[in-house]
Structures are given as C-alpha cells and as structure tokens.
C-alpha cells in the first residue's frame, strides 16, 4: 500500500494518519503534493522517488533502476 495525495496546502499528514488507522498498516511510501507544486511544475522530484519505491518490489533483478 502507498498513499498519493494532492492537496491545497494543509491536512496531508492528518489524512495519511487517518488512512493508516483505517487500513491498520503502514504504507510503503507516501507523497503529498500541493496545488502550487503542480502548477509550478516542481513536483517531479517528489513523484519520481515515490514511483521508484512503489515499483521496487515488482522489478525483476535484471531491470535497471
């Protein structure tokens, strides 16, 4: 499980906490991206490591990082 959140600017931590409580487990990764980061196109540096970590368990040993 991994959490991906877009938001205006507040509440992501509390939302993630509630989601963890409901699901009863820790996510392997979380990322929260503000509306501003999307509009200014500065969110790739958060999304790329998130995707890498989420894909990791599915990657074959021979595949490049």
The verdict on 10 binding ligand FMN (CB under 6 A) reads yes
Please name the residues in contact with 15: beta carbons below 8 A apart, sequence gap of 6 or more.
5, 7
Residue nearest to ligand FMN (CB): 8
Binding to ligand FMN in span 12-41, by CB under 6 A: 35
One of 1, 2, 3, 7 touching ligand FMN (CB under 6 A): 7
Nearest approach in angstroms of CB 63 to ligand FMN is 30
How far, in Å, CA of 46 to CA of 51, rounded?
Answer: 9
């Amino acid at each position: 499980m991994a959490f991906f959140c877009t938001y205006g600017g507040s509440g992501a931590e509390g939302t993630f906490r509630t989601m963890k409580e409901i699901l009863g487990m820790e996510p392997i990764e979380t990322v929260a991206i503000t509306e501003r980061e999307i509009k200014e196109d500065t969110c790739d540096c958060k999304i790329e490591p998130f995707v890498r970590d989420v894909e990791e368990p599915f990657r074959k040993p021979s595949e490049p990082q």
